[in-house]
Every structure is written in C-alpha cells, then in structure tokens.
Homo-oligomer: A and B are copies of this chain.
C-alpha cells in the first residue's frame, strides 16, 4: 500500500540554518518539500543563487523565489544601502534587523502552504544566535502559530498547518554537526551580510564571525569561500 508523503513548505534563505532545516524536512522527516526564498531587496543576490543550489542538492520538490518589496520600506542595513553593515558587535538590536521580516516571510509561507495543502511549515529560525531580533524568539513563533491556526481554511477544517522550528534552541556548532550528518553542502551556503556576487564571504560581519566560531566549535573544517587576495603561490 502506498503511503502518501507529508508535504512541507520550507523557508530557504541560502544560509546554513535554512539549508539544515530543509535537510531535516526532506531527509530526516521524509516530507515532500517545497522551498521558498524571498527576493526582498537584500544587498546581494548570491544567497538566492545559493538557495537554488541547496534546494536541488537536498531534493526539494520545487523552489520558488518570491519577489517582495520589503526593501522599499527602508529601515535596515540589509536592504537600505544608506545604512552601513557593522563589522564589530554592538549593543541592542542591530541595524541589520529587517522590520517584522519573519512575520512577513512566515505569512507568505503560510499562504503557499494553504494553496499546496501542506501539513508543515519549516523555518530555520534560531533564538541562540538571534542577535536580539524580536521575531526569532520561541514566544514569537508560538504566537505566529496561534495566529496561523485562525487564519487558514485548513485550520477551520481542523487541520492546522503546523510550524516547525527544529533549530530554535541549537547553537551554531550543533546546527553544523546536524547538517553535516544529513549531507548538507555548507560550501554552497552563504551567510555573509556582504557576500560578493559569487557568494564569497567578507569574513568580518556578525554572520561571518558566528559561522567561523560554529565550525571551530563543531570541530569541522570551515568550508566557507572567503574573498581576499588570491594565493598565487
């Protein structure tokens, strides 16, 4: 007897967390996975290219890139070219915060999940290295789930779309170990806030520093491609 696979929408940024999340959905949990990325006016497109590669590598059923105009609202160094990306850690919520980004992304994912009649919505959101972003906390995710349970026709029919955030309480080293065990090709992922067009990382921003520390703590080689002087030796 054929068993129907459960279906999932997976938010995929092209970074290492969401790649690991897709591996969990597709490989560990066996879901038919529909990956969703956003072109929201971020400074570089390399992470979208990375998302496409990762989706293919991990066997996503399909990958969509949705264009949204979040950058037009301004207010973040990730989308507003007038705000510099910081290279040293600061206090409080950093300027790389994009207002209400997870609310917007999760709402789109919810809409697509309803269209696909998907059972799950996976997000690689993480509260450990969350840099103070309010919408990366477990209480935010719980509140989003409660809202989602009232927002969709599936939920009205008693079949709510369940939000899964399997990385929520994991440190970067644990995520890297988990992803490595599931065959995630971290060299294909981009974390850097100011990666170049090829996806090569700066090695200096918050995201790069977290990633370097993660590989070190996991005891695994840092496979990240960094830009800089080419060694011609």
Contacts and interface: CB of A to CB of B under 8 A. Distances in A.
Interface of A: 64, 66-70, 72-75, 93, 97-104, 106-108, 110-112, 114-115, 134-135, 137, 139-140, 143-144, 146-153, 155-156
A75 B93 CA distance: 38
A177 B36 CA distance: 44
Copy tally for this chain in the complex stands at 2
A140 B151 contact: yes
Given A100-B107, A104-B111, A143-B146, 15 more contacts: A66-B72, A73-B111, A73-B112, A75-B114, A98-B111, A99-B110, A99-B112, A100-B151, A103-B110, A106-B107, A134-B151, A139-B150, A140-B150, A143-B150, A144-B147
Provide the main secondary structure of the chain A interface.
helix
A137 B152 CA distance: 11
Contacts of A74: 115
A99 B152 CA distance: 7
B75 A99 contact: no
A150 B135 CA distance: 7
A67 B69 contact: yes
A103 B114 CA distance: 12
A75 to B, nearest CB: 4
B100 A111 contact: yes
A136 to B, nearest CB: 10
A72 B93 CA distance: 34
Given A135-B150, A135-B151, A143-B146, A111 B103 contact: yes
